[in-house]
Structure 1
Amino acid sequence: MRTIASIRGVFAAIALAATAISPASAGETEDAEAEPSILDSVPALAGAKQFRDALAERGFRFSGFYFSDPRANLHGGMREGATYSGLFSLALDVDFEKVAKIEGGRLHASMFQIHGKDVSERYVGNILAANDIGARPTTRLFELYYEQQLGERFELQFGQMAADEEFMISDYAETFIGATLGWAAAPSENLPQEGPAYPLASLGAQVTWKATETFTLVGAIYNSTPANPDAFDPQKNNPHGLNFRLGDPPLVILEGRYRYEEGLFGLPGGLKFGGYAHFGTFDDLKRGTDGLVLGSAGSNGEPRRLNDNLNVFAILDQQVWRMPGGDEDDGVGIFARAILGGADRNTINVYLDGGAVAKGVVPGRPADEIGLAVAYAGFSPKLREAERAAYRADGTSGALSRYEAIVEATYKAEIVPGLTVQPTLQYVMRPNGGPPEDGGRRIPNATIFGVTTVVTF
């Protein structure tokens, strides 16, 4: 197994090479397309808008949102019931060209205030969580990193970062509320502490190389565990995002991004492909240290430890129909994503999702979006072999871990720019893959409904 020092050395060499190869004069940082803000839409908030814009002129750009999510399990799951969860986010971007005359430099910081309960945890029991903000209530620092443009083609970031903000993202899937359609169930379930992803980011570094106008390569290395690796509850162990850990086994992610203007039906789209490798140790899902199948008669119940874990992924985003006379984004787009890993050490060794999103197709509602998506998380066959052995040894029978799937239908309505209301219906098949935590009969399929409101400022 490669050591932490060697991995860090490789990544440092990449960063040094980027600095050496890039032109001497750094280009200006391209601002990401700003989200619509309610401060620009409501005249009564004009004073706040002016204050925000005045700070931005001086190099300090504040942004944020409030995510409100009442959600109910209407039928099935562990039991029926309703919850409310909320998330307030505040971010600051400091333009170092304006503040310190450093061309192409930017400091980014963000924080969360999380409150409420998670309907999936309390009432459903599924791993494909119903919304993407479910977490332990707290106020925490999320990301804190510095970004530097290195010429026209390279960009370097280092600090506390979240992989789910950068990697394995489908543009069309961002319409949906289900957590797995963002940071997918495969890395979430297979990586220790769910990896560097909401609500816990990790120290790391990232290099972006814009090779051509259509192809970009992004690589990153993270301290793989945001909290103590032995912590029973990582969110409780690192309650405010201030642990800043180093020295744990590294997580390395590499992603290639190819965008084209004419794909299927002569319309634009994009492909992303790559992989992630965790250089720690993982439990063998089938065999124990004594060589016997886990759970079988005579097994010591101690899984073998396996070195390293590699998963590969691919993502397609493709517009398939464009609204006549509308904007370029108006019409129908589809997405598909696949993540594959070794069955001996990945609980979810096959993950697939996909769906369709229509935007600008409702008369008089140009910004509204309609979406339908499905996600499938396939449990490892090695895990099922161990479950069968345990049932035989006990002389019992019960459900096996096969798969969990979720279907989501949603309508995202823009009330004014910066304020959206989004009813969502989800149907969960085989929650937790089949068996409940204590074995026996499987958890019934569940139907979840909620109405999400997002205010962006």
Structure 2
Amino acid sequence: MLFGIGRVGLGLCLAVLGFAAPALADGPDQNGITAPSIATSLPDNGDPTGMRKWLASHGITYNFIYTNDLLANVSGGLRRGTVDQGKLEYNMTVDLEKLANWQGLSFYANVFQIHNTGRIRRDYVGGINTIAAIEAVPATRLSELWLEQKFWDGKASVRAGQLAADSEFFFSSLSFMFLQSDWATITAANLPSGGPAYPLSTPGVRFKADPNANVSLLLAVFNGDPAGPGNGDEQLRNRYGLNFRVRDPALVIAEAQFRANQGKDDTGLARALKLGAWGHFGDFNDLRFGNDGTLLGATAGTGVPATRQGNFGLYGVIEQQLYRPAGGAADSGVSVFSRVSFSPSDRNLIDFFVDGGLVFAGMVPGRPDDKFGASFMYARFSDSVRSFDLDRILSGTPGFVRDFEANLELSYSATMVPGWTMQPVLTYVWHPAGDASRNAIVTGVRSIWLF
């Protein structure tokens, strides 16, 4: 009965709150440009007519971000080969307090144009961990579309509309330089349609409170299946981001964030801790036992999985600066980060996940904006999955027992001009999809332009 309320909970929240939602974070200057941007290297800031500056003066700002990856699987995996993949992203924000004198109200929308010659993880490596986070089905799709209302002198806000959970929950900002920085494998593999994360988003409502400068509390309710039930690729079931589903069992995420020494004038080592949990109100299949109590991996029985009500996960994120140069920001110098998460084994493909990394920022003489580092990722196939595989083998079906998948990425992000970076990368993948015989090596280069 408890999980049954999830089917209507989200719809009620949206009906009650309407389109409440936030002001934007500090960013664009008086010319409407958010640094770094290649616009600052162009004549007239790339705005010869002054239209961008005029729009900014009325509260309307925008930017374009183009990301391109040229990647090759040079060893192992499913097959060798090269892919060229790109994502053009358009972001627009409207400060409705400045435009329409509505205090504390803002609007945001972004659109992706995704194109590629193949998908490096799915088509070439055959794993489950992210290798390059922009990988997706080619499409032009709407991502987020929301309004946010701030109140209590900006210390609290409500956001409603089409949302992506990975923009605010269960992430480390220190990881952003890495190609494999993404919505965690444990949530992407366990939630319906991968959850509300790139490239999918879904209707929802997010509440946020900042009791003080060092603490934030977040709670969100999302429609629980961005693409809806069905067979095949979930990205094809919601190809343009326009499904706007609100009747699926709800997904609820809560997160508490604690931080210190994040200000530009702080001199102590920056640190942050995030503790969160998610709960899904839908039904999930048992991965080992059938509805008649028999083993799904054996030949006898109905072959229909038992049903488990609801699902959940617990997670934590930690960031710690190890060295802060004089006058340096919270993300300068040397820092480490990690995410860890658990979910129940009986209904989830992955029951334990951990990733992390080491980042050096501004540490190369004469290259103050360059970054380099190493990032690892580990996803363990659940006890039920491993037992299912063993049951199949014992019943005479050839195969192997899936154990884990792990990635190690080495990367250097070089700033060519403000707003343009080039980034060579080398990634080693152990046990793609749990198969110890297919260890893979991926190498290539990423380029990012911001305008």
The alignment's TM-score, normalised by the length of structure 2, stands at: 0.92
Who is 2:444 aligned against?
Answer: 450
Tell me if the contact between 1:127 and 1:185 (Cα under 8 Å) persists in the aligned partners: yes
Pairwise mapping of residues 23-422 of structure 1 onto structure 2 (< 5 A)? 30-32=25-27, 34-43=34-43, 46-47=46-47, 50-116=50-116, 117-152=118-153, 153-178=155-180, 181-261=181-261, 267-324=269-326, 326-327=328-329, 329-394=331-396, 396-422=397-423
Range with greater deviation from structure 2 (67-76 or 52-61): 52-61
Tell me if the contact between 2:156 and 2:208 (Cα under 8 Å) persists in the aligned partners: yes
- The verdict on how the C-alpha distance between 1:398 and 1:418 changes in structure 2, with shifts beyond 3 A counting, is same
- The verdict on how the C-alpha distance between 1:311 and 1:327 changes in structure 2, with shifts beyond 3 A counting, is closer
- The verdict on how the C-alpha distance between 1:448 and 1:249 changes in structure 2, with shifts beyond 3 A counting, is same
SS in 1 for 2:347: coil
Aligned pair count? 437
Who is 1:22 aligned against?
Answer: none
* Whole-angstrom CA distance in 2 between matches of 1:79 and 1:198: 25
* Whole-angstrom CA distance in 2 between matches of 1:93 and 1:138: 23
- The verdict on how the C-alpha distance between 1:29 and 1:450 changes in structure 2, with shifts beyond 3 A counting, is closer
Cα distance, 1:27 vs structure 2: 11
The amino acid that maps onto 2:429 is V
User: Could you report, residue by residue, the CA deviation over 1:417-452 in whole angstroms, capped at 9, with x for unpaired residues?
Assistant: 110111110000000112xxxxxxx54100001100
SS in 2 for 1:211: strand
Cα distance, 1:11 vs structure 2: 5.9
Cα distance, 1:297 vs structure 2: 3.6
The amino acid that maps onto 2:414 is A
* Whole-angstrom CA distance in 1 between matches of 2:450 and 2:373: 21
Tell me if the contact between 2:358 and 2:375 (Cα under 8 Å) persists in the aligned partners: yes
Tell me if the contact between 2:114 and 2:137 (Cα under 8 Å) persists in the aligned partners: yes
Range with greater deviation from structure 2 (320-329 or 57-66): 320-329
Cα distance, 1:300 vs structure 2: 2.1
User: Could you report, residue by residue, the CA deviation over 1:146-169 in whole angstroms, capped at 9, with x for unpaired residues?
Assistant: 011112221010000100111101
Cα distance, 1:397 vs structure 2: 4.2
Cα distance, 1:15 vs structure 2: 7.3
SS in 1 for 2:53: helix
Who is 2:31 aligned against?
Answer: none
The amino acid that maps onto 2:432 is P
Tell me if the contact between 1:215 and 1:258 (Cα under 8 Å) persists in the aligned partners: yes
SS in 1 for 2:64: strand
* Whole-angstrom CA distance in 1 between matches of 2:437 and 2:183: 24
Tell me if the contact between 2:145 and 2:163 (Cα under 8 Å) persists in the aligned partners: yes
The amino acid that maps onto 2:375 is A
User: Could you report, residue by residue, the CA deviation over 1:177-216 in whole angstroms, capped at 9, with x for unpaired residues?
Assistant: 01xx320100000001000111111000000011222111
The alignment's TM-score, normalised by the length of structure 1, stands at: 0.90
Who is 1:439 aligned against?
Answer: none
* Whole-angstrom CA distance in 2 between matches of 1:429 and 1:283: 28
* Whole-angstrom CA distance in 2 between matches of 1:113 and 1:197: 16
The amino acid that maps onto 2:146 is Y
Tell me if the contact between 1:76 and 1:446 (Cα under 8 Å) persists in the aligned partners: yes
SS in 1 for 2:412: strand
* Whole-angstrom CA distance in 1 between matches of 2:103 and 2:49: 26
The amino acid that maps onto 1:66 is Y
Cα distance, 1:170 vs structure 2: 0.5
Who is 1:437 aligned against?
Answer: none
Segments of structure 2 that go 5 or more residues without pairing to the other structure are: 29-33
Cα distance, 1:43 vs structure 2: 2.8
Runs of 4+ in 1 over 3 A off after TM superposition: 5-16, 26-30, 32-35, 324-329
Cα distance, 1:6 vs structure 2: 6.7
State the percentage of identical aligned residues.
37
* Whole-angstrom CA distance in 1 between matches of 2:220 and 2:328: 38
* Whole-angstrom CA distance in 1 between matches of 2:371 and 2:12: 43
Cα distance, 1:120 vs structure 2: 1.3
- The verdict on how the C-alpha distance between 1:295 and 1:147 changes in structure 2, with shifts beyond 3 A counting, is same
The amino acid that maps onto 1:415 is M
- The verdict on how the C-alpha distance between 1:326 and 1:212 changes in structure 2, with shifts beyond 3 A counting, is closer
The amino acid that maps onto 2:104 is G
Cα distance, 1:41 vs structure 2: 2.3
- The verdict on how the C-alpha distance between 1:255 and 1:48 changes in structure 2, with shifts beyond 3 A counting, is farther
- The verdict on how the C-alpha distance between 1:55 and 1:107 changes in structure 2, with shifts beyond 3 A counting, is same
The amino acid that maps onto 2:70 is P
Cα distance, 1:232 vs structure 2: 2.6
* Whole-angstrom CA distance in 1 between matches of 2:120 and 2:229: 27
* Whole-angstrom CA distance in 2 between matches of 1:269 and 1:49: 43
- The verdict on how the C-alpha distance between 1:194 and 1:423 changes in structure 2, with shifts beyond 3 A counting, is same
Cα distance, 1:325 vs structure 2: 5.8
Who is 1:438 aligned against?
Answer: none
Tell me if the contact between 1:29 and 1:104 (Cα under 8 Å) persists in the aligned partners: no
